[in-house]
Amino acid sequence: MRKPSIISLLLFILMSTANVKAISDYDLAVEYTDGKTIYYNYTHEGEELEVTCLNDVAPFNEHAYEGNVVIPDEVKCNDKTLKVTSIGEFAFAGCSALSAVTIPNSVTEIGQMAFQSCKNLSSLNIPNRLASIGMLAFWECSSLTTVVIPGSVTSIGGGAFYDCSSLESVTIEYGVTCIEEDVFQGCKRLLSLTIPNSVTTIKQGAFCNCEALTSISISESVTIIDNHVFQGCSSLKSLIIPNSVTKIEAYAFNGCESITSITIPDKVTEICGYAFLDCRNLKFVKIGSSVKDISVCAFDGCPNISTIVSLIENPCFITESSSNNRTFDTNTFNNATLYVPVGSKDKYKSTIGWNDFVTIVEGDGSGSSGVEQEIEKPLQMEFHGNVLTAKGINNSEQIFVYSTNGMLVGKSTSENGVAKVNTHLEHGAVAIVKIRDKIVKMVVK
């Protein structure tokens, strides 16, 4: 069970106080030719404008904005022309009849809870000069299906798309550096996601309970997979943990029931408690050579693990099979084959926890019938025009193609070991192809 996050606590506080009084009165109301009225506050000593809420009684006025609202980039007022540069806190909050909003390129900031509970908002453009998306900005926008977050946004605020239950497609462009906690939590229809290499931080619960998420390619710049990040992603099948990762925090992949194979990169030093708890279809685990701590219940509830390849030369102790907090499932201790580095079998047999494995074999498991053999089969990739054809891929695996500036230009899922990606890249361009933990540069022919 996940503990309440900072976002959850803030939600409680905000909802408890939202109806007490208005945050502030608006400074300016402008009625446009389409009959819509937009309310503004002056900012930057009266030189710029911020879209705000009606604030008759409270910031949640469902009739303040309705239908399709087009926000202008500037407003003429008292012989002055003022730029509209921000959308304020609660500006459209609770506007259940709002169906679409056009945000001008002049806007650089969207405040916290700006569109909270706009349940019929189905069309949204995020301008390419936007710098920040506030906490819970689009919380419970349950009709929103597609979001493109431009690279100008350096940080996506905590819970920004919390419980956007219809959200299926998210594009995060190169330039975004931080995905705050709970950003996409509860987006139950989100299918796949590519995180650009500009992202260095993904905070706890960011994709928690994204039940339809089948694949994710994580940025090569991320060093820590935080608490609960992918907890409850029960459809997640394809996962590449980048080589940059050094630590996997508690409950990171708890309940990811569809994952069958995990490779822990060599830079990882710590696998925290419950990290892969209840990954019930996990069959193959490869543990990198630098791991020095595997905490309680890290792989408990994974009864179908049949092969573990450990590259650790000097094993740390783990929690034994008889404990309620055992590191691996009892069935794993009894039935899985544990492969260990040549010359280290006696060390494992004398180390607490590892000595509970019934079958310990020296070697890398390459001759076994485990999952690794399927994963390591050779790839064949070539361009025909601007279409990349890849062969030798496992069924349902994804392949991603990027331009040299880090932009995703195409992706595909393999069928019968073959994937084709239409990249739209020009002849002679360099493509960066990523599949599993492999990255290959190719020239478009």
pLDDT in tens, 281-325: 999 999 999 999 999 999 999 999 999 999 999 999 999 999 999
CA dihedral of 93, 95, 99, 105, whole degrees rounded to 10:
-40
Say yes or no to pLDDT of 4 above 60: no
Identify the residue with better confidence: 351 or 367: 351
Q: What is the arithmetic mean of pLDDT over 424-431?
A: 84
3-state secondary structure string, 387-405?
A: EEEEECCCCCCEEEEECCC
pLDDT digits (tens, 9 = 90+) for 175-229: 999 999 999 999 999 988 888 889 999 999 999 999 999 888 888 899 999 999 9
Say yes or no to pLDDT of 82 above 90: yes
Q: What is the pLDDT of residue 445?
A: 75
Q: What is the arithmetic mean of pLDDT over 78-85?
A: 92
Pairing of strands 74-77, 80-87: antiparallel
CA distance 338 to 420: 37
- CA Rg value for the chain: 25
CA distance 292 to 268: 9
Q: What is the pLDDT of residue 19?
A: 39
Amino acid in position 399: I
Q: Which residue from 121, 217, 221, 110 is spatially nearest to 171, judged by alpha carbons? A: 217
Q: What is the pLDDT of residue 155?
A: 80
Say yes or no to pLDDT of 160 above 60: yes
Q: What is the arithmetic mean of pLDDT over 77-89?
A: 92
How far lies 48's CA from each of 84, 111, 132, 389, 408, in Å?
A: 6, 15, 17, 51, 35
Q: Which residue from 71, 47, 60, 66 is spatially nearest to 19, judged by alpha carbons? A: 60
Instruction: State both tokens at 348.
Output: 């494992």
Q: What is the pLDDT of residue 358?
A: 95
Q: What is the pLDDT of residue 341?
A: 94
Say yes or no to pLDDT of 369 above 60: no
Q: Which residue from 249, 286, 288 is spatially nearest to 266, judged by alpha carbons? A: 288
Write b or e for each residue in 239-264: b if 16 or more Cβ atoms lie within 10 A of its Cβ, otherwise e.
bbbbebbebbbbbbbbbbbbbbbbbb
Q: What is the pLDDT of residue 61?
A: 65
Q: What is the pLDDT of residue 230?
A: 96
Q: What is the pLDDT of residue 436?
A: 65
**pTM listed for this prediction:** 0.77
Q: What is the pLDDT of residue 442?
A: 83
Which band of pLDDT confidence, cut at 50, 70 and 90, is reported for residue 377?
Answer: very low
pLDDT digits (tens, 9 = 90+) for 229-263: 999 999 998 788 989 999 999 999 999 999 999 99
Instruction: State both tokens at 434.
Output: 């990523």
Identify the residue with better confidence: 5 or 431: 431
Write b or e for each residue in 429-443: b if 16 or more Cβ atoms lie within 10 A of its Cβ, otherwise e.
bebbbbbbeeeeebe
pLDDT digits (tens, 9 = 90+) for 21-30: 344 478 999 9
State the distance between the two ends of the chain, measured CA to CA, in whole angstroms: 52
CA distance 33 to 313: 74
CA distance 29 to 103: 18
| CB contact set of 358 (below 8 Å; sequence gap of 6+) | 333, 334, 335
Q: What is the arithmetic mean of pLDDT over 403-431?
A: 82
Which band of pLDDT confidence, cut at 50, 70 and 90, is reported for residue 16?
Answer: very low
Which band of pLDDT confidence, cut at 50, 70 and 90, is reported for residue 10?
Answer: low
Beta strands in 288-424 (DSSP E): 293-294, 307-310, 337-340, 359-362, 380-384, 387-391, 398-402, 408-413, 418-422
| CB contact set of 205 (below 8 Å; sequence gap of 6+) | 2, 5, 7, 181, 182, 185, 226, 227, 228, 229, 231
pLDDT digits (tens, 9 = 90+) for 125-148: 999 999 999 999 999 999 999 999
Q: Is 280 left (phi over 0), alpha (psi -120 to 50) or beta?
A: alpha
Percentage, residues of the chain above pLDDT 70 = 89
Q: What is the pLDDT of residue 21?
A: 36
Q: How many Cβ atoms sit within 10 Å of the Cβ of residue 183?
A: 31
Question: Which range, of 2-16, 154-168, 177-191, 323-337, averages the lowest pLDDT?
Answer: 2-16
Q: What is the pLDDT of residue 56?
A: 47
Question: Which range, of 216-230, 361-375, 426-440, averages the lowest pLDDT?
Answer: 361-375
Query: Taking all residues of the chain, what is their mean pLDDT, rounded to a whole number?
Result: 87
Which band of pLDDT confidence, cut at 50, 70 and 90, is reported for residue 385?
Answer: confident
Question: Which range, of 3-12, 220-229, 420-429, averages the lowest pLDDT?
Answer: 3-12
CA distance 424 to 337: 46
CA distance 400 to 437: 11
Q: Are 327 and 300 in contact (CB under 8 A)?
A: yes
Q: What is the pLDDT of residue 100?
A: 94
Which band of pLDDT confidence, cut at 50, 70 and 90, is reported for residue 35?
Answer: confident
